[in-house]
Amino acid sequence: MWRTALLMSVVVSLVACDGKGPALKGDYPAVKLTDRVYVIHGINELPDRRNQGFINNPGFVLTSKGVVVVDPGSSVRIGEMVLAKISGVTKQPVIAVFNTHVHGDHWLGNQAIKAAYPKAVIYAHPNMKSKAPAAGAEWVGLLNRLTDGAVKGTEPVGPDTHVDHDEILKLGDRHFRIYHNGKAHTDGDVMIEVVEEKTMFLGDNVFAGRIGRMDDGHFAGNVAAIEMAMQSGASQFVPGHGPSNGRNILVGYRDYLRTLHDEVKRYYDQGLQDFEMKPKIAESLIRFQKWYGFDEQLGRHISLAYQQIQAESF
């Protein structure tokens, strides 16, 4: 018994000396989408103590020169987990990272990547790059509160350089095409198509089985971004949250956003206030009511869409 207690004491002491939150609990497999593309699906819900903030979908791509990572997660510990999963597949170094947007649950894992591979180049949209310093500090504080300190020791490490719409980066023997369509989930989203693999990382322009927050976004712009992704050469898609799949995940989230926007516009034109629309719009969106976050986000989404439509009417 005393040996067990001693061992636990040593473990706790090591964690404390490390200065970081606890190691990630649970096993999150690296799912092979193609010969070169892997994704680690996080828990499709809001960050809390139980999931330790691991709620997004980090991905990695194997090239002839090294590994390219997309959205390494919300903490240094999650970034370390991503590196461990990579090392189970290849001994190649990480040469590049893409951050899809400014929300910290997607990029605070940069810290672990840079610590292990200082020469890895981190790419993001210019708007994300400029906002990352302030947003990073806010997100570390928010995630620490929501997870009861699971992201302790995480320090924001922002992008090194920027990429924008229609740029194609050749990294090793793979080409990465960048898509940006103005304001969508945020004003600094990029979607990344791995051309030879016919796979696209969508960031939070698409959620699968979950309703995302739109406080920094634009409904019509998000629909347009999804339709742009539909015109790409990709056949497999990795959403920011939820399971990866084919075009069906694009269609599902687009239909939610478009139906909500169009219904708000219809009732706005009839002179209804946002709170008066909610029961009617909930009925129009009944097929989405089992998606995670539907009840919590619906009223907020109606209000945001109402404000956008009102502003555009002047």
pLDDT digits (tens, 9 = 90+) for 180-209: 999 999 999 999 999 999 999 999 999 999
Looking up tokens 């406080």 gives 215
What average pLDDT score do residues 152-164 get?
98
Separation between Cα atoms, residue 95 and residue 106, nearest integer Å: 18
Q: What confidence tier does 313 reach under pLDDT thresholds 50, 70, 90?
A: confident
Q: How far is CA 18 from the centre of its chain?
A: 27
* Res 314: pLDDT: 82
CATH 3.60.15.10 is the classification of domain 17-251: yes
User: Looking at the predicted structure, is the pLDDT value of residue 123 above 80?
Assistant: yes
Helix axes 274-284, 294-312, angle to 10 degrees: 120
Q: What is the pLDDT of residue 13?
A: 40
pLDDT digit string (tens) for 261-310? Answer: 999 999 999 999 999 999 999 999 999 999 999 999 999 999 999 999 99
pLDDT in tens, 219-268: 999 999 999 999 999 999 999 999 999 999 999 999 999 999 999 999 99
- pLDDT(117) > 60: yes
pLDDT value for 166: 98
Q: Tell whether the model's pLDDT for residue 45 goes beyond 50.
A: yes
pTM of the predicted model, to two decimals? 0.93
pLDDT at 1 over 70: no
Tokens of 305: 């869409």
Work out the pLDDT band at 37, boundaries 50, 70, 90: very high
State how far the Cα of 209 lies from the Cα of 199, in Å rounded to an integer.
20
The Cα–Cα gap between 98 and 162 comes to: 10
pLDDT of residue 7: 38
Residue 9, pLDDT > 80, answer no
pLDDT at 4 over 80: no
Which has the higher per-residue pLDDT, 1 or 85? 85
Domains in the chain: boundaries: 17-251
Per DSSP, the residues of 213-275 read P-TT--HHHHHHHHHHHHTSS-SEEEEEES--BSTHHHHHHHHHHHHHHHHHHHHHHTT--HH
- What is the secondary structure of 105-128 as a DSSP string? TTTTTHHHHHHH-TTPEEEE-HHH
- Decide if 177 contacts 166 (C-beta within 8 A): yes
d(CA 310, CA 31): 44
Share of the chain above pLDDT 90, in %: 93
